[in-house]
Amino acid sequence: MTDITKQPENSTKKQGYWAGVARDGKKMGFWFILPTFLLLLFIVIFPLFMQLYLSVTWWTPLEGIPWYRAWEVFSWGDNYVFQFTDERVWGALWRTIIIMVIAVPAQFFLGMSLAYLFMDNFPGRKIFYSLMLTPMMIVPAVVGLMFYLLFQGTGPVNAHLGLPVTFSWLTDVNRAMISVIIADVWQWTPLMFLILLAGMLGVPSDQLMAAKLLGGSNWQNFLKIILPRMKAVIAIALVLRAVECFKIFDLVYIMTKGGPGVQTETISVFLYKMTFGEFEWSYVAALGLTILFVLSIIAAKGLAYIAKKDG
Amino acid sequence: MSSIQINNVTKRFGDFTAVEDLSLDIKEGEFVALLGPSGCGKTTTMNMIAGIEDISEGSILFDGQDLSSTRIQDRNIGFVFQNYAIFTHLSVYKNLSYGLEVKKIDKSDIDTRVRAMADRMSITHRLEQPASSLSVNEMQKLAIGRSAIVEPRIFLLDEPLSNLDAGFRAYMRAELKVLQHEFGQTMIYVTHDQIEAMSLADKIAIIDQGKLMQYGSPLDIYNSPDNRFVANFIGSPRMNLIDGKLREEKSQLKLMVHGGAEIPLKGQVKSNFTSDGSVQSGSFGIRPQDIYFGDKRSSNDIEMKGIVDVLERVGPKRIAHLQVSETNFIAFDDQDQLKLGEKVSFFLPSEKSMAFDEVSGRRSGVI
């Protein structure tokens, strides 16, 4: 009898992925994904090269030259050089990072505390669980509008503070930043909570009980058993939120429009304004590529860290 | 080291009563096995002793002291989980040192104690390796060592041998006995395996459906089971338990078995059946090894005639299934003297036979 699970020996001659595809009759699958693949090629790869092309010119849509003739206003790497000396870029970057380094850790600690709380089976847990997740489900633009209304000079926040002075939350630089951070923390803590809770529930409960029986206090067991076991999940949650937070746009644009002046502009708001306000498309293209490059490196490092921890 | 008193403990999960009115008195340094079929409430009892589960009613006293309001962390109870609950993200060393580190004991002191314990459990060569790389047998040793190192007041083991391969299980059974002697600890051991319980424990508590069936030394339980459940549960092969109705014919009391066989009752077992006065029906119990063939040894022994139905070889002996009418008796054929299909006489020694009340299951005729 022949063993049908055994491959004929000559099949090992051809190696590699594509040989495998041909041998195992996966060709049909390839044809299935081809249309999607082509579409993706058109909406991702093509614009990327178009952006790369425009970024080395002075081209703007206002001068009447079609984009493919942008080489006529070729600028070498001037856009790339200029972005490093542009104070508006540095300012926007600085503010984006400030929002990120305050909002993401805040979301992390709140999410972690809530996750720990939800490990217990307290009465009403399910209802609170659903309520907890609602902010995440709301469209960011609506959240922006909600907090815009809340932080109005004559809005509920000032009314509830009940102080003799009325704060102008959204037109003062520092207070506007605080307002945006509060809105972002409100909206995205639930996501952090959800990811961290999933990770925490993955810690075997008998190991936790064993640690307790050995005399470890809740805090010691949290630090020595729960946290180390959640490393990968924590890394994923932090990378995810950091990258998302770096792109923060809706909240800022709706609450302050980057104002007063340019004082609460983040990278995304700045890019938007340069694109549709000042039509500096080649400059935006160069800046966009730089950000993509930097973020890719950070994310890759983060993911490599996760892979190392898991392996 | 502590003595433990379990007083009328009841545990309910909603409408379900897992443990009912259970009382046990465990002396200092004793090795007690909680034995029963799966789902009988033995693990729940263990969890209540450890403080993992709350007690619905009753109390558990350690040296006369109620710990129900003490945090689990401060109870100082050693617990070996069925699946060991090894901290797989830590090294073997860190697993052993965990219970000491959390108590903020001096580093060099920890090191000495960890190395001594690793040496005792013969896992020294594994100390620096991740605990996840251990074999099941080594994990078992690590789990015991990790609990023992903090010198708990009592030691609880939840089916610790059930995941091991047969050879290592026998080794570990002997090892546990040695360890218990060395530690001088009060140990409570949950198992569904009667051989483990018999060979390890000073005392066995047999539990069924949340109720204590019998509590006593292994030999006690084996030789004089309190009730039909214990008689049926302990012993391998099982005791012959024949149900029937009592009837008096020509001044001879007989047990009329439902399958059609008749057991004439004599001597000790007869007085046992009649001691309660109004017993109408009951179970007749006799262990397979007490049934004998050949010549009658005592005038009170009961003679039966049956057909050899099945012969199973277990080592040098054979287990014989003897068919009397439609009732099956199991006996040992020591010298390969029986033949299949043969009609034989066999004897049930009356002083070794037991009588059980059919309704309550209680053994009659014993005080």
Provide block-wise average pLDDT over 10 residues at a time, chain B (367 residues): 88 90 90 89 89 89 86 89 90 91 90 91 89 89 90 88 85 86 87 88 91 92 90 89 85 83 83 74 89 88 90 89 89 87 90 84 74
- What is B158-211 written as a DSSP string? ESTTTTS-HHHHHHHHHHHHHHHHHHT-EEEEEES-HHHHHHH-SEEEEEETTE
Cβ-based contacts of B76 with chain A (< 8 Å): 215
Q: Does B118 reside within a domain?
A: no
Asked whether the bond before A123 is cis by omega within 30 degrees of 0, the reply is no
Q: Does B211 reside within a domain?
A: yes
Rounded distance between C-alpha atoms, residue B187 and residue B201, angstroms: 9
Q: Does B162 reside within a domain?
A: yes
| Amino acid (1-letter code) at residue A125 | R
Q: In this structure, what CATH number is given to the domain that contains residue B347?
A: 2.40.50.140
Rounded distance between C-alpha atoms, residue B296 and residue A10, angstroms: 78
Q: In this structure, what CATH number is given to the domain that contains residue B145?
A: 3.40.50.300
Preferred mutation among A121, A208, A212, A214 to probe B, highest tally of B CBs within 10 A: A214
Helix (H) or strand (E) holding B339: none
Sheet holding B154-158, edge to edge: B77-80, B154-158, B186-191, B31-35, B203-208, B211-216
Sign of the Cα torsion A282, A284, A290, A295 reads: negative
Preferred mutation among B49, B54, B81, B144 to probe A, highest tally of A CBs within 10 A: B81
Sign of the Cα torsion A151, A155, A156, A160 reads: positive
Asked if B149 and B99 touch (Cβ cutoff 8 Å), the reply is yes
Rounded distance between C-alpha atoms, residue A201 and residue A226, angstroms: 9
Asked if A235 and A154 touch (Cβ cutoff 8 Å), the reply is no
Sheet holding B302-314, edge to edge: B292-293, B343-348, B302-314, B317-324, B327-333
Preferred mutation among B79, B147, B154, B156 to probe A, highest tally of A CBs within 10 A: B79
Q: How confident is residue A68, by pLDDT bands cut at 50, 70 and 90?
A: confident
| pLDDT at site B347 | 92
Nearest residue to B350 (alpha-carbon basis) of B288, B270, B281: B270
Nearest residue to A171 (alpha-carbon basis) of A179, A183, A162: A179
* Domain termination residue (choose one: B196, B223, B250): B223
| pLDDT at site A121 | 85
Judgement on whether residues B19 and B138 belong to the same structural domain of the protein: yes
Say yes or no: B103 contacts chain A, CB-CB below 8 A.
Answer: yes
Helix (H) or strand (E) holding A72: none
* Domain termination residue (choose one: B195, B223, B251): B223
pLDDT at A11 over 50: no
Which domains are present in chain A? 17-78 (no CATH), 87-279 (1.10.3720.10)
Q: Residue holding tokens 């980057």?
A: A258
SS3 content of chain B, % helix, strand, coil (to 5): 30, 35, 35
Cross-strand partners of B346: B293, B304
Query: Residues 161 to 190 of B: which have CB under 8 A from any A CB?
Result: none
Judgement on whether residues B47 and B170 belong to the same structural domain of the protein: yes
pLDDT at A167 over 80: no
Q: How many helices (H) and strands (E) does chain B have?
A: 9, 20
**Vertex A164 angle, CA A158 and A168, to 5°:** 45
pLDDT in tens, A41-50: 888 888 889 8
Judgement on whether residues B251 and B312 belong to the same structural domain of the protein: yes
Say yes or no: B89 contacts chain A, CB-CB below 8 A.
Answer: yes
HSE of B56, CA atoms in CB hemisphere, 13 A: 15
Q: Does B231 reside within a domain?
A: no
Q: Nearest C-alpha of chain A: how many angstroms from B109?
A: 17
Judgement on whether residues B145 and B277 belong to the same structural domain of the protein: no
| pLDDT at site B195 | 86
Rounded distance between C-alpha atoms, residue A48 and residue A292, angstroms: 11
Q: What is the ipTM, given to two decimal places? A: 0.81
Q: Does B282 reside within a domain?
A: yes
Nearest residue to B154 (alpha-carbon basis) of B78, B71, B72, B96: B78
Judgement on whether residues B71 and B217 belong to the same structural domain of the protein: yes
Q: Nearest C-alpha of chain B: how many angstroms from A224?
A: 9
Secondary structure class of B8 (helix, strand, coil): strand
HSE of B230, CA atoms in CB hemisphere, 13 A: 28
Judgement on whether residues B250 and B169 belong to the same structural domain of the protein: no
For B336, other C-beta atoms within 10 Å of its C-beta total 11
| Residues of A within an 8 Å Cβ radius of B | 204, 206-207, 209-217, 220, 224-225, 228-229
Q: Does B319 reside within a domain?
A: yes
The token pair at A152 is 């109005």
| pLDDT at site B279 | 66
Asked if A212 and A221 touch (Cβ cutoff 8 Å), the reply is yes
Judgement on whether residues B198 and B314 belong to the same structural domain of the protein: no
Judgement on whether residues B209 and B153 belong to the same structural domain of the protein: yes
For A174, other C-beta atoms within 10 Å of its C-beta total 10
Nearest residue to B172 (alpha-carbon basis) of B128, B136, B206: B136
Q: How many domains does chain B have?
A: 2
Secondary structure class of A225 (helix, strand, coil): helix
The token pair at A174 is 């520092």
Rounded distance between C-alpha atoms, residue B133 and residue B123, angstroms: 12
Backbone angles phi, psi at B4, to 5 degrees: -130, 135
Say yes or no: B142 contacts chain A, CB-CB below 8 A.
Answer: no
CA separation, residue B157 to residues A79, A102, B198 (Å): 71, 48, 15
Q: Does B329 reside within a domain?
A: yes
| pLDDT at site A296 | 87
Judgement on whether residues B140 and B206 belong to the same structural domain of the protein: yes
- What is A252-309 written as a DSSP string? HHHHTTT-STTTT--HHHHHHHHHHTS--HHHHHHHHHHHHHHHHHHHHHHHHHHHHH
Asked if B91 and B103 touch (Cβ cutoff 8 Å), the reply is no
| pLDDT at site A1 | 44
Judgement on whether residues B217 and B250 belong to the same structural domain of the protein: no
| pLDDT at site B68 | 82
Residue B274, classified by CB atoms within 10 Å of its CB into exposed (0-12), middle (13-18) or buried (19+), is: middle
Q: Does B123 reside within a domain?
A: no
Q: Based on C-alpha coordinates, what's the Rg of chain A? A: 26
| Amino acid (1-letter code) at residue B285 | G
pLDDT at A86 over 50: yes
Whether the pTM exceeds 0.90: the reply is no
Q: Residue holding tokens 């970057």?
A: A93
| Amino acid (1-letter code) at residue B330 | I
Measured between CB atoms, which of B52, B87, B147 is closest to A207? B87
Percent of chain A with pLDDT over 90: 30
Cβ-based contacts of B74 with chain A (< 8 Å): 215
| pLDDT at site A2 | 46
Asked if A91 and A262 touch (Cβ cutoff 8 Å), the reply is yes
Higher pLDDT, residue B243 or A168: B243
Q: Which residues, other chains included, contact A247 with Cβ-Cβ below 8 Å and sequence gap of 6+? A: A267, A268
Backbone angles phi, psi at B38, to 5 degrees: -60, 140
Cβ-based contacts of B147 with chain A (< 8 Å): 213-214
* Residues spanned by the domain of B320: 239-357
* Domain termination residue (choose one: B197, B223, B249): B223
Sign of the Cα torsion B145, B146, B149, B155 reads: negative
Judgement on whether residues B141 and B23 belong to the same structural domain of the protein: yes
Measured between CB atoms, which of A207, A216, A217 is closest to B85? A207
Judgement on whether residues B272 and B190 belong to the same structural domain of the protein: no
